[in-house]
Amino acid sequence: MSQITLPELPYAKNALEPYISAETLEFHHDKHHAAYVNKLNELLPGSGLEDKTLSEIIVATAKDDSKQGMFNQAAQVWNHTFYWNCMTPTNGGGEPTGDLKGKIEEAFGSYDKFREEFKNAAMTQFGSGWAWLVADKVGGTLSIAKTANADTPLAHGQVAVLTCDVWEHAYYIDYRNRRPEYVDTFLDKLVNWDYANAKYQGQDAGVEA
């Protein structure tokens, strides 16, 4: 039986300061993300999915109401791994680079319009959830999506390109109830466009999520 493991953060816990604190990452990664991993591993024995990859578990459970609990844990493991890699401590945020620059301008008219729509998705996701930049296929047409709770583009046949976690535990220590400030900071200071480009082109970038 395969064991789902908690991936290491792709940077030191204090690397995103002053935008996201080491304290936030200690709780968010070491407690929340770890709890999803542990719970998923508790649910796997006897499920018939013991030897599947994380992505395969998500796809297999996405539309099965009897496995909703397993889907929630697996999708949260995947979403969080993806989110960590969507941020970088060096030269993050601002206008896109690489192929995505032209593709974003093509899809939204301009980076500013994309930024407006992405922030709106993050702000209008009621309660817990995620804002996404997705493609309909590898290298395909881009659009904005938002998902509630653990839901993920992977469950809908979409390619995840970029995400911002808008569960309160992602930002409350640093920003309290100021979600708009957190989303602005994510977009302006933290986005890892190299990773987003890799995911858009279908590259694994060294991690499954």
* pLDDT for the residue numbered 206: 65
Please check if 29 is assigned to a binding site: no
Please state, as a whole number, how many other Cβ atoms lie within 10 Å of the Cβ of residue 147.
Answer: 21
Nearest residue to 186 (alpha-carbon basis) of 79, 109, 86, 76:
86
Residues present in the chain in total: 209
- pLDDT tens digits, one per residue of 21-68: 999 999 999 999 999 999 999 999 999 999 999 999 999 999 999 999
Report the interhelical angle of 98-108 vs 193-200 (nearest 10°).
80
Say what the pTM is. Answer: 0.97
Lay out the sheet containing 159-165: strands in order across.
Answer: 142-148, 129-135, 159-165
DSSP bridge partners of 145: 132
- pLDDT tens digits, one per residue of 168-196: 999 999 999 999 999 999 999 999 999 99
Computed over every residue of the chain, the mean pLDDT equals: 96
Q: Domain 98-200 in CATH: superfamily?
A: Iron/manganese superoxide dismutase, C-terminal domain (3.55.40.20)
Please check if 28 is assigned to a binding site: yes
- pLDDT tens digits, one per residue of 76-97: 999 999 999 999 999 999 999 9
Q: What are phi and psi of 118, to 5 degrees?
A: -65, -45
| 22-85: CATH number | 1.10.287.990
Domain limits, CATH 1.10.287.990, in the chain: 22-85
Please check if 33 is assigned to a binding site: no
